[in-house]
Amino acid sequence: MQGRKILCAALAAIVITSLPNAGISQQKALKDQLVGTWTLVSWEAVNVDGSIGVPIDGIDPRGQLIFTDNGRFSYQVITNIPKFKINDRLKATPEENNAVARGSLSQFGTFTVNETDRSFTLRIERSTFANQNDTDNNKRLVTSITADELKYSNFGRAAGGQNNTVWKRLAP
């Protein structure tokens, strides 16, 4: 009789632990955690020599990052670019165009997630930095993610070194 009780208890434990969400909260997949709209908190460049710099010229950089559930992304970071003298962007001066090029980065495309190493890779279809157009080796290592905050590092920075970026969730 004692053996039968032990066997029943063991079987019950196996059944309970094999049920989905059986009293244990399962963490969402990384892709599901990424989906939503994020706003830039900070973005730093760690240069090859170890010094810390900024990856974009200008003051008060602001940004938005959107991941969709069907694997698309959109990314913009823009500093406080001075207004053009003439109200026509196609007639900007070389200096005004330089301020735009140095003070903004925008890209869109698709993304894939690697759950094992907690990373995502961007396939950039178009970027304001045209050297990134049609590239798919843009891996970002997620160093931390919560419901409200995303931190990742880009060890493949075009200028060498790495970028560390922090985002705050705006909407799921």
The set of residues, in sequence order, having a beta carbon less than 8 Å from that of 91 and lying 6+ positions away, is 84
Nearest to 59 by CA among 103, 101, 105: 103
Q: Is residue 123 part of a domain?
A: yes
Residues 6 or more apart whose CB falls under 8 angstroms from that of 50 comprise none
pTM over 0.95: no
Q: How confident is the model at residue 2 (pLDDT cuts 50, 70, 90)?
A: low
Closest alpha carbon to 81 in 53, 101, 107: 101
Q: Does residue 93 form part of some domain?
A: yes
> In this structure, is residue 7 part of a structural domain?
no
Domain-located, residue 120: yes
What average pLDDT does the structure give for the chain? 88
β-strand pairing of 52-53 with 36-46: antiparallel
Q: Does residue 53 lie within any of the structural domains?
A: yes
Question: What CATH number has the domain bearing residue 155?
Answer: 2.40.128.280
pLDDT in tens, 16-46: 444 444 444 568 999 999 999 999 999 999 9
Q: Is the pLDDT of residue 7 over 60?
A: no
- Whether 4 maps to a domain, the answer reads no
Whether residue 55 is contained in a domain is answered as: yes
d(CA 11, CA 48): 57
Instruction: Please indicate, yes or no, if residue 15 is contained in any of the structural domains.
Output: no
Q: How many domains does the chain have?
A: 1
State the residue range of the domain holding 34: 26-171
